[in-house]
Amino acid sequence: MRFAPILLSIALVQPSAALVAVPRGHLSAARIVLAARRADVLRMDEPPPPGSKAADAEAALDRMQQRMKSYNREQKGPSINPNTYNVLYGAIIAFTLNDLRQNADVLAWLGAGAALDAVPFRALGASTLLMAYALFQLAFSFGTGTSTPFRQAVLKLGVTEPPFSSALNDEKRRGEYRCASCDVALFDSEAKYDSGSGWPAFWRTSDGGLEYSKELGGRMEVKCSKCSGHLGHVFSDGPDVREGDMVPDTDPGGAAAAFAMNDETVHPRFCINGAALSFVPEEGGSGAVGTLPKEESVVES
């Protein structure tokens, strides 16, 4: 029949209609075509056959993820003395003040009474903004206790401390890490590890007592669930998950987590400001702390 090719082409496009439209003499041929088409369709739970484009794409994605893990683990932060930053900030302030001392417009403004509505912003330049930042960091890098300005700036305003500036980053004793504002327990020393990022890092919480909120830039902010104080951020690039690791249900990766991890083969990395924490050492505890070496760590991105 001259309509057989047309009906057979319909079978290739719409199989259900083809079984009705194809004449009885061509029914077996249509079924063969449909069986061949179905054989080419992979089930979602079956791996793609070797050599297929899907298999090549999955292999390429896996190689990329492994390269990223290897790169992150190799990029360990340097062991920088916190005072190095204070010296740098001090140098910035000194050089900027020396430049301003020789600026005629600034001297004229100071001589006229330094009125706020007559500030010579153009004469001050970008270097003054850099000096203001250095003053901010330098002023808040000294002192201890919950009432220090920098600690309040971290907890209440979400300011991030300079990397490698907190003594807790190198804390090796066993103990408990609490919120510096309300004293609730947040982390313990068994979950602390050296991430190489310059900030204290943990791969789980003590009991899940944290709040999470996504920032405009995409990062996941971490807050104390009791006082809502800003602690830091959590990232999906922590140490590898090992058999027997236990995490609270509300932690990322837990049974009742508020959000899903990008990579379920790794723990979260809680990157926490040392200024937002207070450390309570364990009585009679040993010096060894943490269960994860630096080689299983990543760098702050």
Q: DSSP for 238-265?
A: -SBP-TT----TTSTTSTT-SS--S-TT
Residues 301, 299: Cα–Cα separation, whole Å: 6
Q: How far is CA 106 from CA 4, 95, 130, in A?
A: 93, 15, 17
More confident residue, 133 or 91: 91
Question: Tens digit of pLDDT for each residue in 44-102?
Answer: 445 667 777 777 777 776 666 665 555 444 545 555 565 676 787 788 888 888 888 88
Question: Tens digit of pLDDT for each residue in 205-226?
Answer: 998 889 999 888 889 999 999 9
The answer to whether the CB of 224 falls within 8 A of the CB of 264 is no
Residues 287, 269: Cα–Cα separation, whole Å: 23
- Strands 269-272, 230-235: pairing is antiparallel
What are the DSSP calls for 3-56, one per residue?
THHHHHHHHHH-HHHHHHHS-GGGHHHHHHHHHHHHHHSPPTTSPPPTTSHHHH
Q: Which of 13, 41, 15, 39 is nearest to 27 (CA)?
A: 15
pTM as predicted: 0.57
The answer to whether the CB of 214 falls within 8 A of the CB of 221 is yes
14 has pLDDT over 70 = no
Q: Which of 179, 224, 227, 271 is catalytic?
A: 271
pLDDT (0 to 100) of residue 284: 65
Domains of the chain, first to last: 1-45 (no CATH), 82-139 (no CATH), 152-296 (2.170.150.20)
The answer to whether the CB of 107 falls within 8 A of the CB of 97 is no
Residues facing residue 211 across a β-bridge: 223
Please indicate whether residue 224 is annotated as part of the active site: no
pLDDT (0 to 100) of residue 30: 54
pLDDT (0 to 100) of residue 46: 58
Question: Tens digit of pLDDT for each residue in 25-51?
Answer: 555 555 555 555 555 544 444 566 777
Q: Which of 68, 77, 82 is nearest to 194 (CA)?
A: 77
The arithmetic mean of pLDDT across residues 108-136, rounded, is 80
**Residue linked to tokens 């302030």:** 93
